[in-house]
């Protein structure tokens, strides 16, 4: 009987054990709950570099669309940057597919350090909510610390035709430290069934997916980075579930849509206004007088001197016209230009056989301070005061003979009217589309950019005048600042919506065209422009029969010398020299006004520029120095769970560092 009872008990135990095995086979292996320490451990190496040992985020979504985020961030601090604690920067704006930015609600609930309540304060800074963990008067000892930050936010759920989605930038891509391990658990709304998921790693915009999704014991999606994340790299994940669990916001009403599109509407209306204004202002004051027929001619128009022709041609008195005047004085035998024995870049100017009566007004003005005493003068900075006096007298005389406004007007008043309208449009447009958070840094940088750009333009213009050294200094000084300001502006503008960028580009191109076209030739100026063009045509054309000139003068050394200063003034000295090359070679040409070892072709082609540099150097002072509340979500968000996302996309994000 005892044996029978023992056998029955043995059968019952065997059946029970078999049932347990069957249940385990159905249910599968029991998986442990995932914790950051379980996944990454806690490093115990001797590395004393400040870094993030692990970054874990628990993200929960309720049916109203509120998202609760608890971030556990374990760091090693050595009092380098992490002295009082860490700071966490979270974007306050999220970009829609259209590029428009929408403000997001964020509320900090709790901050802990090593499980204990930690002091903190927040700041709105550059479009981010910055959470400073720690107290300004409490400093940390070197070691490992675990920070827990809990905050809520709303407006991140993306609504699509067949599913709802949370697309979340878990770590942010703006951390200054390496993140040795990153993970996140995304709790979907109650009743949700996972339809699709994706994760991304790397710098902002990267589509790399060096990460893994593994469901937790209760089926909650958990994402892990497969390797450490370098500074400015992050982990982003997206999960999607069936539509209908979260109440979708009603479609925006008329006023809401108007408010949303206020920036775009103002931008388009302002663009049309500016284009119309630019055109009407140009049509009123900037349209050139009717073009005159260009007729080739072999005599200087209006009997003008080389310096005066240069002034009307370039609309400025510059050193090239100054050089042409000295060559003209030499051709008329009023002075002799001699190469210096000590340097090929220095010349000696000596009095010629002709008197001052052969000189034009501006030539006499330059001649008198230099050679009025009858003594030769060298083109060195030791004679700076003489050459500076000669230049100023020359410039004054040219401008007294010709009032450039009779020929050409810059229309500065019209330019300023267009410029201030553009600036007002730019200010209001960027405030409406981007807000003051973006606008204020732009307002700070733009004046510096404009100022240094103006300095660059002034420097480039100075290269054509006597102040070449000052021009080079201004260019070299302004370029680094322009580059720095430009990089800052590119950084600020890169987040603008595509439509905003297009509008800005169109307006800037229109303004550039307006700026170029608003200066205008008067009727008198158009006639002078055509006359100078006809004279240039003769100077630069080798085969004169093509010009339909009835009786062109014969090519002689005398004609070459007579018009050489005009060729220099009109930037045609090389073409003029080639035109007479055979004639001058046959005649054994050797100019009486020039003494030196150079051949006549070198004198013709390179001497003007060399002499120009020498005159400029002599005239340079040797002592001068060189929105409203957010809803549960939006149908305007981009999708990340379908595989079309990237690292740094979606809500959340930001970064952090130490303080």
Lowest mean pLDDT, pick from 227-236, 405-414, 431-440, 567-576: 431-440
Which of 72-76, 288-292, 384-388, 601-605 holds the top average pLDDT? 72-76
Q: What is the pLDDT of residue 113?
A: 93
Q: What is the mean pLDDT of the chain?
A: 79
In angstroms, the CA 350 to CA 335 distance is 6
Which of 449-458, 565-574, 633-642 holds the top average pLDDT? 565-574
Rounded percentage of the chain residues whose pLDDT exceeds 70: 76
Q: Pick the more confident residue, 199 or 605.
A: 199
Q: What is the pLDDT of residue 27?
A: 35
Average pLDDT for 588-607: 69
Per-residue pLDDT reduced to its tens digit, 468-496: 677 788 888 888 888 888 787 777 666 66
Average pLDDT for 258-264: 70
Residue 421 has pLDDT above 80, yes or no: yes
Residue 5 has pLDDT above 50, yes or no: no
Residue 29 has pLDDT above 50, yes or no: no
Residue 74 has pLDDT above 90, yes or no: yes
Lowest mean pLDDT, pick from 14-28, 169-183, 242-256: 14-28
Per the CB < 8 A criterion, the answer to whether 366 and 394 are in contact is yes
Lowest mean pLDDT, pick from 369-373, 408-412, 655-659: 655-659
CA 140 centroid distance within chain: 41
Residue 619 has pLDDT above 60, yes or no: no
Q: Are strands 594-595 and 335-339 parallel, antiparallel or unpaired?
A: parallel
Q: Pick the more confident residue, 513 or 397.
A: 397
Q: What is the pLDDT of residue 24?
A: 40
SS3 assignment, position 550: coil
User: Considering only CA atoms, which of 322, 291, 289, 292 is closest in space to residue 305?
Assistant: 322
- Model confidence at 622, pLDDT cuts 50, 70, 90, reads low
Residue 348 has pLDDT above 80, yes or no: yes
Per-residue pLDDT reduced to its tens digit, 508-519: 888 888 888 888
In angstroms, the CA 39 to CA 102 distance is 36
Q: What is the pLDDT of residue 53?
A: 93
Q: What is the pLDDT of residue 205?
A: 81
Per-residue pLDDT reduced to its tens digit, 278-308: 999 988 888 888 888 888 888 899 999 999 9
User: Considering only CA atoms, which of 91, 46, 84, 88 is closest in space to residue 71?
Assistant: 88
Residue 632: Cβ within 10 Å count: 21
Residue 248 has pLDDT above 60, yes or no: yes
Q: Pick the more confident residue, 461 or 66.
A: 66
pTM, two decimal places: 0.55
CA 484 centroid distance within chain: 8
Q: What is the pLDDT of residue 55?
A: 94
Beta carbons within 8 Å of 603's beta carbon, 6+ residues apart = 591, 594, 596
Residue 311 has pLDDT above 90, yes or no: yes
Q: What is the pLDDT of residue 437?
A: 62
Which of 30-39, 136-145, 438-447, 544-553 holds the top average pLDDT? 136-145
Average pLDDT for 33-39: 47
- Model confidence at 12, pLDDT cuts 50, 70, 90, reads very low
**For 300, what's the count of Cα atoms within 13 Å in the CB-facing half-sphere?**
20
- Model confidence at 132, pLDDT cuts 50, 70, 90, reads very high
Lowest mean pLDDT, pick from 102-111, 147-156, 323-332, 378-387: 378-387
Which of 1-15, 187-201, 451-465 holds the top average pLDDT? 187-201
Q: What is the pLDDT of residue 207?
A: 86
Per the CB < 8 A criterion, the answer to whether 338 and 350 are in contact is yes
In angstroms, the CA 330 to CA 325 distance is 9
Per the CB < 8 A criterion, the answer to whether 314 and 549 are in contact is no
In angstroms, the CA 558 to CA 584 distance is 10
């Amino acid at each position: 009987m005892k044996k029978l009872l023992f056998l029955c008990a043995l059968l019952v135990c065997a059946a029970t054990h078999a049932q347990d095995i069957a249940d385990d086979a159905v249910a599968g292996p029991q998986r442990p709950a995932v914790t950051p320490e379980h996944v990454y451990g806690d490093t115990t190496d001797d590395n004393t570099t400040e870094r993030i040992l692990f970054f874990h985020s628990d993200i929960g979504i309720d049916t109203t669309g509120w998202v609760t985020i608890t971030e556990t961030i374990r760091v090693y601090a050595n009092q380098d940057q992490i002295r009082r604690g860490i700071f966490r920067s979270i974007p306050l704006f999220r970009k829609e597919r259209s590029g428009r930015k929408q403000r997001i609600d964020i509320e900090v609930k709790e901050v802990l350090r090593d499980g204990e309540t930690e002091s903190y304060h927040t700041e709105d800074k550059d479009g981010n909510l910055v959470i400073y963990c720690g107290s300004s008067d409490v400093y940390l000892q070197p070691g490992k610390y675990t920070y827990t930050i809990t905050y809520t936010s709303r407006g991140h759920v993306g609504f699509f035709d067949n599913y709802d989605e949370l697309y979340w930038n878990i770590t942010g891509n703006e951390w200054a430290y390496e993140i040795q391990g990153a993970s996140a658990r995304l709790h979907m709304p109650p009743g949700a069934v996972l339809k699709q998921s994706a994760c991304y790693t790397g710098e902002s915009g990267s589509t790399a997916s060096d990460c893994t999704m593994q469901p937790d014991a209760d089926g909650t999606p958990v994402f892990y980075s497969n390797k450490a994340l370098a500074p400015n790299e992050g982990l982003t994940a997206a999960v999607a579930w069936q539509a209908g669990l979260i109440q979708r916001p009603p479609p925006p009403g008329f006023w809401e849509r108007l408010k949303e599109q206020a920036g775009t509407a103002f931008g388009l209306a302002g663009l049309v206004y500016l284009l119309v204004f630019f055109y009407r202002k140009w049509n009123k004051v900037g349209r050139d007088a009717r073009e005159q027929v260009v007729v080739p001619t072999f005599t200087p128009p209006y009997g003008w001197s080389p310096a005066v022709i240069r002034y009307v041609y370039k609309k400025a008195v510059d050193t090239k016209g100054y050089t042409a005047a000295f060559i003209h004085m030499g051709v008329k035998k009023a002075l002799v230009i001699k190469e210096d024995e000590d340097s090929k870049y220095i010349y000696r100017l000596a009095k010629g056989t002709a008197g001052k009566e052969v000189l034009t007004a501006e030539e006499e003005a330059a001649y008198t301070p230099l050679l009025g005493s009858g003594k030769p003068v060298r083109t060195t900075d030791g004679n700076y005061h003489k050459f500076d006096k000669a230049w100023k007298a020359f410039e004054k005389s040219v401008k007294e003979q010709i009032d450039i406004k009779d020929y050409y007007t810059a229309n500065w008043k019209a330019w300023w009217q267009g410029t201030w309208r553009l600036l007002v449009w730019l200010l209001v447009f960027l405030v409406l589309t981007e807000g003051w958070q973006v606008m204020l840094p732009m307002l700070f940088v733009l004046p510096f950019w404009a100022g240094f750009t103006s300095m660059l333009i002034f420097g480039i213009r100075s290269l054509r005048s006597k102040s070449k050294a000052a021009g080079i200094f201004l260019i070299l000084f302004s370029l680094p600042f322009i580059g720095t300001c430009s990089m800052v502006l590119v950084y600020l503008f890169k987040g603008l919506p595509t439509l905003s960028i297009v509008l800005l580009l169109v307006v800037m191109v229109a303004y550039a065209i307006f700026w170029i076209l608003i200066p205008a030739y008067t009727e008198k100026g158009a006639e002078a422009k055509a006359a100078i063009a006809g004279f240039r045509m003769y100077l630069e054309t080798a085969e004169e029969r093509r010009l339909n000139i009835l009786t062109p003068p014969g090519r002689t050394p005398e004609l070459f010398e007579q018009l050489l200063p005009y060729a220099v003034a009109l930037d045609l000295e090389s073409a003029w020299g080639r035109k007479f090359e055979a004639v001058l070679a046959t005649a054994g040409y050797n100019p009486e006004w020039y003494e030196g070892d150079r051949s006549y072709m070198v004198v013709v082609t390179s001497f003007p520029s060399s002499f120009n540099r020498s005159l400029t150097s002599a005239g340079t002072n040797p002592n001068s120095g060189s929105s409203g509340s957010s809803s549960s979500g939006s149908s305007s968000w981009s999708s990340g769970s379908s595989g079309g996302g990237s690292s740094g996309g979606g809500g959340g994000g930001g970064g952090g560092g130490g303080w």
